[in-house]
Amino acid sequence: SVQAPNSAPAESYRSLRTSIQFVGIQRAPRIIQVTSAHAGEGKTATVSNLGVALARSGQRTVLVDCDLRRGRLHTFFDLKNDVGFTSLYLDEETVATAATPIADVKNLSVVPCGPIPPNPSEILSDKRTGEVLATLLETCDVVLVDCPPVLPVSDPAALSVWVEATILVVSSGVTRKQDVQRAVEILLQGDAPLVGTVLNNVRPQDEYAYASSYYHD
């Protein structure tokens, strides 16, 4: 679920928002991919809460579900999934009909994954995906992209061609160190613009619900 504005986790997502804004030398990245080593490590929750933090800071933000295997972004905002990214990819819908504004969060819209295709990796590596993301960017300040985990499938590497920054989500006490290392290796081998990792599910007694580390050239 999306964190309450005054909660400690919400404050941590605001800190993450600020960190991302300082990643770029010339300007902050505008198309940001969020992935994880395995499923169930919190990438969709990170996309949702980071998106809310960005929107509440005044940035027009679009969340896009490019997990074309097990898309769940729509469930976080109680949306239908009959129209979404795949509809835009096939040119069956426009941004106006595929992106749903979130009523209680000004500046935030969500594009679900839409109908599940038989060939996710081929779609995400196709230049049409880059065109869709570029079109979405024309309507907002930031596009946050939720995509499948790195280790089971090649989708994140395929998608990374079209983004300006990649964030790897790690679950405290769940994600194994060797899996994090392997995920980083795969992303870097594919020239993904990996800027850092986000550690979530930190113990409640810790000050914040996430920790982050960033990679610099």
- Report pLDDT digits (tens) over 88-120: 999 999 999 999 999 999 999 999 999 999 999
Decide if pLDDT at 211 tops 80.
no
Decide if pLDDT at 213 tops 80.
no
pLDDT score of 197: 86
Query: 107: phi > 0 → left, psi -120 to 50 → alpha, else beta; which?
Result: left
> How many CB atoms lie under 10 A from the CB of residue 64?
28
pLDDT score of 174: 78
Decide if pLDDT at 208 tops 80.
no
d(CA 56, CA 39): 28
pTM: 0.85
